[in-house]
């Protein structure tokens, strides 16, 4: 794998937050590379900076210093338009709290990213994505009429609809019961098997064990970065 | 996104958030409707006042005893008795060729009685030409003629209301009524005329001038003379001639020593117009205040709505919306909301103003239903402007946040 160029390469990335003139350093000069087709779990206690790292990786936030190469391009000085295009085409994001538009149909929720890139056959693309998560029968339901597991599957369909390079999932099972969580992890694993790069933030050991590689973050630094030796089946991993 | 896609999106949004849309639209509806209603009711009230004055006709010249200048009415209007005008003066004015008819008035108030029925009535001593000067039509019987006036005949012509109050449904013609102990034979009833110049014309009782002066009041002066001119255009010329003749008759050499005042009713209209113009300014002030209040309401609702949608902005950015996309969407949203609110407001303002006019007319007021284009433009444009600015500006600020900050927004 190391022969290929990395999909994602962080060089000396740091992040500071300034509140009332008090500077809080959240990330300290991180370096890390992620390759196409990987399934990475980022772990760490709360306050470790794992979420901040995730937000920077997925272009929802900008680093305070350092360089972020995506597909070999330095994105540090990208303007709003180029960042928006990256978020739209190259990545899909799955939130812990779903973030679906309320009182809007499942179909319209999944179409949302397509509204911003002038795609031609939006409905067909949305249908395909919904078939991928087994929700093609729920098209005209409103998002608030769905169960938590269904909501998260709609969110995954939304993340998939533009056929991105990477799927980011921020504690995707955090708000779900174990059965729904299991389904979601199965979908992510299947996507990875089909070649999609998956980056997952979690604090659950058994969820992380579905991944191929675990990066542990502590106090804003990468504490350990290792391959998963015994990759568990989703079903085994989620029995609580 | 294209404009069409944006519009479709906005309508979806409006429908998806019915409560918020309703509140926002309501704010604008109230703002727009309030301005239109206030302006329409103001214009209606103005028309009421105006119609009262102009019902007398613009080709009348009123001659009152006592001097007056441009600044105010003569003292006689205030209740001071001035005795400088005589019936002979009226007689002399008839020689002016521009004048078709001249009527003099001498009035008093007393109880009128028929059998056991008594009413408080204003009796007006006048001459037969009164019917021409004031455009009066007779409902039944007839008005008195010149010979009856000369002979001090004890006859009376009743106003419509006076006849009804005294006689109910009975025919009053030929009946005898008593005023100040003098018996009068009723010879006619005047058609219904309503309120003109704030005097209910239907409560009056008309008696020959000579009879009133000699038998009822014991005076030799008149309280007012009115002259009717054929053409509106000849009014100023007629006024000049009247002053000339009266000065000669009263041995007055200088205009400022005149012991009478002659004015065209059009002049009174001008004076009235100043009053109603002041009313208009007053109403415009109220409309401006209601616009400000409405605008603040719209502003608040828009700010709350955008605040509520900050997470949505974050999500949209996270899935690939640019700052420009967000700004466009909120601009179109604000325009759709304010325009629909504005249209509903215009319709509502229309309906309420029309209802006010209908009710006022039903109650007997001569009230015009006036909706002015400026009131619609003013109300709609200011409300929409406020709605758009406060719908779009905060959204623009929110669109500049990093997506994660907007998503974190509570």
Question: In 3D, which of B327, B338, B356, B352 has the Cα closest to residue B294?
Answer: B338
pTM confidence score: 0.69
What does residue B384 show for φ and ψ, rounded to 5 degrees?
-65, -40
A188 falls within a domain: no
pLDDT in tens, B155-167: 999 999 899 999 9
Asked if residues A75 and A19 have their Cβ atoms less than 8 Å apart, the reply is no
By C-alpha distance, which of A102, A127, A103, A104 is closest to A114? A127
SS3 assignment for B117-133: EEEEEEEEEECCCHHHH
Decide if A232 is inside a domain.
no
Give the β-pairing of B155-158 and B195-196. Answer: unpaired
**3-state SS, residue B98:** coil
Interface of A with B (CB under 8 A): 55, 58-62, 80-81, 84-85, 87-89, 93, 95, 99, 101-104, 108, 112-113, 115-117, 158, 162
Per-residue pLDDT, B145: 92
* CATH number of the domain bearing residue A24: 3.40.50.300
Taking the C-alpha atoms of residue B207 and residue B165, their distance in angstroms, rounded to an integer, is 18
For residues A171 and A202, is the Cβ–Cβ distance under 8 A? yes
Strand segments, DSSP code E, in B115-198 are 117-126, 138-141, 155-158, 176-179, 182-190, 195-196
What residues make up the domain containing A29?
A: 1-90+195-227
What is the structure's pLDDT at A111? 93
- Contact residues on chain A for B4, CB-CB shorter than 8 A: none
d(CA A156, CA A161): 9
With respect to residue A213, please indicate whether it lies within any of the assigned structural domains.
Answer: yes
Q: Given CB atoms, is B249 within the 8 Å cutoff of chain A?
A: no
Local structure of residue B247 (DSSP, 8 states): H
Residues B33-54: what's their mean pLDDT? Answer: 81
Residues sharing a CB contact under 8 Å with residue A163, sequence separation 6 or more, in sequence order: none
Number of residues in chain A: 240
Within 8 A by CB and 6+ apart from B48, the residues are: B360, B365, B366, B367, B368
Mean pLDDT by 10 residues, chain A (240 residues): 78 91 91 94 91 94 94 92 94 93 90 88 92 90 92 94 94 90 91 94 86 93 87 57
Of A113-117, B71-75, B258-262, minimum mean pLDDT range: B71-75
Predicted local confidence at residue B73, as pLDDT: 65
Q: Tell me if A84 and B322 make a contact (CB, 8 A cut-off).
A: yes
- Residue B334 scores a pLDDT above 70: yes
- Asked whether the beta carbons of B284 and B378 are under 8 A apart, the reply is no
Taking a C-beta distance cutoff of 8 angstroms, is the pair B74, B68 a contact?
Answer: yes
Phi and psi at B139, nearest 5°, equal -80, -45
Q: ipTM of the predicted structure?
A: 0.91
How many distinct structural domains can be found in chain A? 1
Q: Is B279 on the interface with A (CB under 8 A)?
A: no
Minimal C-alpha gap between B302 and chain A (Å) = 19
Q: Is residue A58 part of a domain?
A: yes
pLDDT score for B57: 67
Residue A146, domain member (yes or no): no
Rg from Cα positions in chain A: 18
Please, what is the angle between helix B310-318 and helix B323-362, to 10°?
140
Residues A87, B5: C-beta atoms closer than 8 Å: no
Mean per-residue pLDDT of chain B: 85
Query: Is residue A171 included in any domain, yes or no?
Result: no
Rounded Cα distance between B381 and B375, Å, is 10
Are A108 and B319 within 8 A, CB to CB?
Answer: no
How would you classify residue A171: left for phi > 0, otherwise alpha for psi between -120 and 50, otherwise beta? left
Q: Which of B388, B349, B336, B392 is nearest to B30 (CA)?
A: B349
Q: What's the average model confidence in pLDDT over B366-385?
A: 83
Q: What is the pLDDT of residue B20?
A: 78
Closest listed residue to residue B25, CA positions, set B298, B389, B292, B391: B298
Higher pLDDT, A11 or B53: A11
> In whole angstroms, what is the distance from residue B305 CA to residue B293 CA?
18
Q: How far apart are CA B295 and CA B18, in angstroms?
A: 21
d(CA A152, CA A100) in angstroms, rounded, equals 9
CB B133 within 8 A of CB B228: yes
Q: What are phi and psi of B161, to 5 degrees?
A: -70, -40
Nearest 10 degrees: Cα torsion A114, A117, A120, A124: -20
The DSSP secondary-structure symbol of B220 reads S
Q: Cβ of A88 and B320 within 8 Å?
A: yes
Structure tokens of A146?
């769905």
Q: Are strands A39-43 and A197-201 parallel, antiparallel or unpaired?
A: parallel
- Among B317, B402, B407, select the one facing A62 at the smallest CB separation: B402
Q: Which chain B positions have a beta carbon within 8 Å of A58's beta carbon?
A: 318
CA-closest candidate to residue A58, choices A32, A87, A15: A87
Closest CA relative to residue A81, chosen from B325, B331, B309, B311: B325
Q: Is residue A240 included in any domain, yes or no? A: no
Mean pLDDT over B350-371 rounds to 86
Q: Which of A61, A99, A116 is facing B325, going by the closest CB pair?
A: A116
Pairwise CB contact (< 8 Å): A116 & B321: yes
User: pLDDT digit string (tens) for B227-244?
Assistant: 999 887 888 889 889 999
Residue pLDDT, tens place only, B167-216? 988 999 999 999 998 999 999 999 988 777 667 888 899 999 999 999 99
B317 touches chain A (CB under 8 A): yes
In a domain, A184, yes or no: no
Asked if A61 and B319 come within 8 Å (Cβ–Cβ), the reply is: no
> What is the percent of chain B where pLDDT is above 70?
94
């Amino acid at each position: 794998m190391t022969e290929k160029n990395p999909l994602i390469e962080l060089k000396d990335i740091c992040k500071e937050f300034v509140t009332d003139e008090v500077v809080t350093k959240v990330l300290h000069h991180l370096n890390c590379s992620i390759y196409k087709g990987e399934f990475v779990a980022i772990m760490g206690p709360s306050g470790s900076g794992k979420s901040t790292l995730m937000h920077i990786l997925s272009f929802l936030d900008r680093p305070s210093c350092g360089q972020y190469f995506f597909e070999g391009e330095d994105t540090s000085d990208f303007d709003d338009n180029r960042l928006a295009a990256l978020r739209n085409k190259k990545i899909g994001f799955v939130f812990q709290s779903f973030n679906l538009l309320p009182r809007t149909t499942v179909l319209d929720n999944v179409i949302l990213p397509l509204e911003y890139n002038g795609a031609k056959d939006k409905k067909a693309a949305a249908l395909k994505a919904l078939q991928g998560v087994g929700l093609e029968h729920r098209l005209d339901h409103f998002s608030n009429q769905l169960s938590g597991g269904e909501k998260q599957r709609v969110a995954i369909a939304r993340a998939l609809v533009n056929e991105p390079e990477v799927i980011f999932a921020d504690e995707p099972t955090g708000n779900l019961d174990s059965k729904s969580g299991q389904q979601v992890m199965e979908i992510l694993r299947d996507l990875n098997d089909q070649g999609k790069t998956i980056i997952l933030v979690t604090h659950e050991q058994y969820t992380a064990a579905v991944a191929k590689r675990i990066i542990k973050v502590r106090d804003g630094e990468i504490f350990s970065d290792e391959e998963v030796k015994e990759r568990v089946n989703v079903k085994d991993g989620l029995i609580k | 996104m294209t404009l069409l896609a944006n519009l479709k999106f906005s309508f979806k949004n409006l429908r998806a958030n019915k409560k918020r849309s309703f509140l926002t639209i309501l704010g604008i509806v109230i703002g727009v409707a309030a301005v239109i209603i206030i302006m329409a009711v103001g214009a209606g009230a103005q028309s009421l006042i105006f119609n009262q004055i102009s019902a007398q006709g613009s080709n009348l010249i009123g001659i009152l005893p006592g001097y007056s200048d441009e600044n105010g009415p003569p003292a006689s209007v205030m209740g001071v008795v001035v005795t400088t005008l005589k019936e002979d003066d009226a007689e002399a004015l008839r020689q002016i060729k521009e004048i078709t008819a001249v009527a003099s008035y001498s009035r008093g108030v007393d109880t009128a009685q028929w059998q056991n029925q008594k009413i408080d009535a204003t009796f007006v001593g006048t001459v037969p030409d009164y019917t021409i000067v004031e455009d009066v039509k007779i409902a039944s019987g007839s008005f008195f003629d010149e010979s009856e006036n000369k002979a001090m005949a004890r006859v009376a012509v009743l106003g419509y209301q006076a006849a009804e109050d005294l006689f109910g449904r009975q025919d009053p013609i030929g009946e005898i009524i008593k005023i100040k102990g003098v018996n009068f034979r009723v010879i006619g009833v005047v058609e219904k005329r309503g309120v003109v110049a704030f005097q209910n014309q239907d409560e009056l009782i008309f008696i020959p001038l000579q009879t009133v002066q000699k038998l009822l009041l014991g005076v030799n002066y008149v309280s007012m003379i009115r002259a009717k001119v054929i053409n509106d255009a000849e009014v100023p010329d007629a006024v000049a001639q009247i002053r000339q003749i009266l000065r000669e008759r009263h041995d007055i050499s200088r205009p400022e020593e005149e012991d009478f005042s002659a004015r065209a009713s059009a002049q009174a209209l001008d004076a009235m117009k100043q009053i109603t113009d002041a009313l208009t300014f007053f109403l415009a002030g109220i409309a401006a205040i209601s616009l400000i209040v409405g605008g603040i309401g719209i502003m608040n609702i828009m700010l709350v709505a955008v605040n509520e949608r900050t997470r949505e902005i974050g999500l949209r950015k996270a899935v690939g919306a640019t700052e420009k996309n967000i700004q466009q969407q909120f601009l179109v949203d604000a325009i759709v909301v304010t325009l629909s609110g504005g249209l509903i407001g215009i319709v509502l303002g229309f309906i309420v103003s029309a209802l006010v006019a209908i009710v006022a007319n039903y109650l007997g007021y001569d009230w015009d239903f006036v909706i002015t284009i400026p009131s619609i433009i003013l109300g709609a444009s200011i409300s929409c402007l406020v709605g758009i600015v406060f719908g779009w500006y905060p959204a623009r600020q929110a669109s500049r946040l990093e997506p994660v900050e907007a998503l974190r927004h509570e």
